[in-house]
Amino acid sequence: GERDAVLTCCRDLAELLRQSADSGRPFVPAPQPRVVARQRATAAAPGPAEAAAAVELIERLPGGVCALDLDGRFTYVSAAAADLLGGNAQRLLGTPPWEALPWLNDPAFEEGHRGALISGQPAQITLLRPPDHWLSFRFHPDPSGVTVRVIPATPDPAARAEFHRRPTPPPGMSEATALYNLMHLAATLTEAVDVQDVVDQANDQIMPAFGAQAAVLMTAQQGRLRITGYRGYPAELMARFDNVPLTSATPAVRTLNSGTPHFYSTFADLKRDFRETVHQDDKEAWAFLPLVTSDRVIGSLLLAYDSPRTFAPQERAVLSSVAGLVAQALDRARLYDVKNRLALRLQSGLLPPTLPRLPDIDVAARYLPALRGMGIGGDFYDLIPLDGTVAAAIGDVQGHDVDAAAIMGQVRTAVHATAGAPPGEVLARTNRLLTDLDAGLFTSCLYIELDLGRHRVRLSTAGHFPPLVRLPDGRTEVLDLPPGLLLGIDPNAGYSTVDLPLVPGTVLALFTDGLVEAPGIDIDDAIRELARQLAEDQGRTMESLADHLVTHAERSAPRGDDIALLLIEAGRPSR
């Protein structure tokens, strides 16, 4: 099986390495691993001529062709398909078939469409378009939606009789559609990280899937009902209902306090329960749903409709299930927000609030936490004034959690305590401390010491990127340093110190991997691009240059890790 194949490959590689060593040509790993970008087989976007030819090809096919996105809306309708369906192609775009064409509000169509989408397999059905047009629908799914072939059909008499004997479907959505919508919502909410994610994704999914024209998400906070997010209502109206006491007589508060849903098909129904209610919105039907977690009610979800609506038992059950999914996602997101705020405060407290202002040196630093959902990281930087020299350090602790932030603080303290010793010795002492802690987390670190009077710089690295240097003439280079072992692995590891000249006006860029690493991008290419950006901006202050480099990195590719950057211009006064 797969395991055997992997083991066989490992044995073959080991044999090749042994043969290479026996022949006197041992394999020596490079200082940095080579990262091979993933190759993606993507077709180039068609030009106008190719697109027109593709449309002509589709129009020549027998029958018609249309495309539905993952939410079941038309994204393309050929002229032949529009004629067969009995609609206008332009008006159909952006609408679900069962809403734009009432005769397609048929359980068979929805089950064929949803079944193909869920299973990933083609499906086929035959339906009657009134009064006497039989059509065959062939559903072909892919990750972006479903392509539908529509072809005139001639079913035999038995099939026609069977079709007409079907029971009349009940009002509301079919079971297949309800199941699909619930599954799609559940899958979407699993990707929500913070409260705003839940609000956005719930509104994006629930309103179109369940036919609502407005939605309001409310949570209980300190004895009041706060509006956490809304869609389809004006801000002025929402301001009137925000922050109401949990003792007020409103449908949302009653739903929260009782833990039971309330459905109002008309305003008259609502008025019967709340006689003092004034019709302040333009809606005609409302569903108030409790947001219930495992042990408590945390809020209410309001769905509002433009026209009166009969909430059938099945729809009421589905909407209650929807509210349950939202409540669970919201509860997780609120916990994440609390933990994330505490962790970020911890991390920011461990980083220097400001950098010291020193003569004959211009410095700037930036720290950006990782994307939401990654947690906090262990990136750190520091600038340490010494007796006649200046030391700088930057590093990255393995992991994205509170433990990583705590280790980062201890490493930074250890570097401070030993600063002034040769850089290699600073890293060796810090390494012994980290291995004694036995935290199980490894740390990369670059430590440099600048002697501005002698125009020298001493450097040592523990598995960290060497600094990128811009010389006064604009040339850039990556310093060649012995890589050194990561801190926290071997207490007896040694670290070399490299002593180099420091020309006045030289800029050193110390950075962590978040600035240059991104999915699908070769790390060497990213560092060369960083060097190019550094070389092109000689006229900037270090503050301006730091902003430019970080902004360029964020725009060039999505970043999944923290970014720490420390820029030092040596031999020039602070600006």
C-alpha separations of 125 from 77, 95, 168, 183 in Å: 19, 21, 18, 23
Domain 179-342 has CATH 3.30.465.10: no
Identify the residue whose tokens are 């030819």.
Answer: 53
| Whole-angstrom distance, CA of residue 244 vs CA of residue 343 | 31
Residue 146: helix, strand or coil by DSSP?
A: strand
pLDDT of residue 29: 64
The pair of three-digit structure tokens given for residue 89, joined into one six-digit string? 């192609």
Architecture of the structural domain at 61-156: 2-Layer Sandwich (3.30)
pLDDT at position 169 is 53
Task: Take residue 459 and report the two structure tokens written for it.
Answer: 């450097």
DSSP letter at 158? H
What gap in Å lies between CA 408 and CA 381, rounded to an integer? 10
Residue type, 343: A
Supply the pLDDT for residue 573: 44
* pLDDT for res 406: 76
Tell me what pLDDT residue 575 has: 46
| Strand (E) or helix (H) holding 127 | strand 123-129
pLDDT at 104: 86
Q: What is the pLDDT of residue 77?
A: 93
What pLDDT does 294 receive? 77
Please provide the DSSP assignment of 239-286 as one string: HHHTTEETTS--HHHHHHHH---EEESSHHHHHHH-TT----SS-SEE
In which order are the strands placed within the sheet that holds 244-245?
244-245, 224-231, 214-221, 297-305, 285-292, 262-264
Dihedral over alpha carbons 331, 333, 336, 341 (to 10 degrees):
-110
Residue 44: how many other CB atoms lie within 10 Å = 6
**Hey, where are the domains in the chain?**
1-28, 61-156, 179-342, 352-570
Nearest of 470, 412, 421 to residue 445 by alpha carbon: 412
pLDDT score, position 185: 77
Show Cβ contacts of residue 279 under 8 Å, excluding neighbours closer than 6 positions: 267
Architecture (CATH level 2) of domain 352-570: 4-Layer Sandwich (3.60)
What per-residue confidence (pLDDT) applies to 70? 83
pLDDT value of position 275? 87
CB 549 within 8 A of CB 486: no
Per residue of the chain (575 residues), give pLDDT as tens. 566 777 777 787 877 777 777 777 777 665 555 444 334 444 556 778 888 888 888 888 889 999 998 878 899 999 999 999 999 989 899 888 887 888 887 778 877 887 788 778 899 999 999 888 999 999 999 888 899 999 999 888 888 888 877 665 555 555 556 666 677 777 778 877 788 888 888 888 888 778 889 999 999 988 899 999 999 999 999 998 899 999 998 999 999 999 999 999 999 999 999 988 889 888 999 999 999 987 789 999 999 999 998 888 888 888 898 898 899 888 888 887 777 777 667 666 677 878 888 888 999 999 887 655 445 667 889 999 998 899 999 998 887 666 777 788 888 889 989 999 999 999 999 999 989 888 778 899 999 999 999 999 999 999 999 999 999 988 999 998 998 999 999 999 999 999 999 999 999 999 998 888 877 788 888 899 899 988 887 778 899 999 999 888 877 766 667 889 999 998 764 44
Residue 370: what pLDDT?
Answer: 67
Topology alike, domains 179-342 and 352-570: no
Which stretches does DSSP call E strand in 324-467? 361-368, 378-385, 390-397, 443-451, 456-462
